[in-house]
Amino acid sequence: MLRKLALVLGVIVAFAWVTPVAQAGPTPAPAGNVVAWDDRTGAQLEQWECEYHHVCFWPEPFGMGSRCMWDVSDPDWTQGDATCSWATVWNVKSVMNLKPKSSNASQGVVYYKKANQQDRAGCTRPEHGGNLAGTYKLRSHRWEIGRCG
């Protein structure tokens, strides 16, 4: 009996010795953290990354998530050469207008909840950006000479 007990204990010790102990992996990022990427190419981007002379919109605050970017007015974000894949699915939570300021042609970007520049949601002045209320989807925008108002 003692011999069987010693054998069983020996097997248990040997098994414990060769069995790896579960190791904790790296701590996962909090659920709220997202990376930024280009909506068309999927290329990873820096936070708030937007090309000069363009307007950019993101579905997450602080210029994060899938960036949609234009250098021209667009009457419908879901059709045409430049589209935004998430326009009908996610609310817009941040914007950056990198059209340059100039004394005679400052261009604010006016954005709308519907296609064809219908149902104005807001306007962002040249070389400005920030977080939006995030309570609405956008479908179109246009550049407007003069101040946002």
What CATH number has the domain bearing residue 131?
Answer: 2.60.20.10
Q: What is the mean pLDDT of each run of 10 residues along the chain (149 residues)?
A: 44 36 31 73 92 96 96 94 94 94 76 97 94 96 80
Report the alpha-carbon distance of residue 137 to residue 26 in Å, rounded.
Answer: 36
The reply to whether 31 falls in a domain is: no
Within 8 A by CB and 6+ apart from 67, the residues are: 36, 37, 38, 39, 45, 49, 50, 56, 57, 58
Residue pair 53/105 in contact by the 8 Å Cβ criterion: no
Strands 107-114 and 55-58: unpaired
Rg (CA), the chain: 26
Range of the domain at 45: 36-145
- pTM comes to 0.74
112 in a structural domain:
yes
pLDDT at 12: 40
Specify the number of domains making up the chain.
Answer: 1
Residue 109 lies in a domain: yes
Distance separating the N- and C-terminal Cα atoms of the chain: 92
Would 15 be classed as within a structural domain? no
Neighbours of 137 (CB within 10 A): 17
| pLDDT at 81 (0 to 100) | 86
Q: What is the pLDDT of residue 104?
A: 56
Q: What is the pLDDT of residue 105?
A: 63
The pLDDT of residue 15: 35
Contact criterion met (CB below 8 Å) for 58 and 66: yes
CA distance 35 to 67: 10
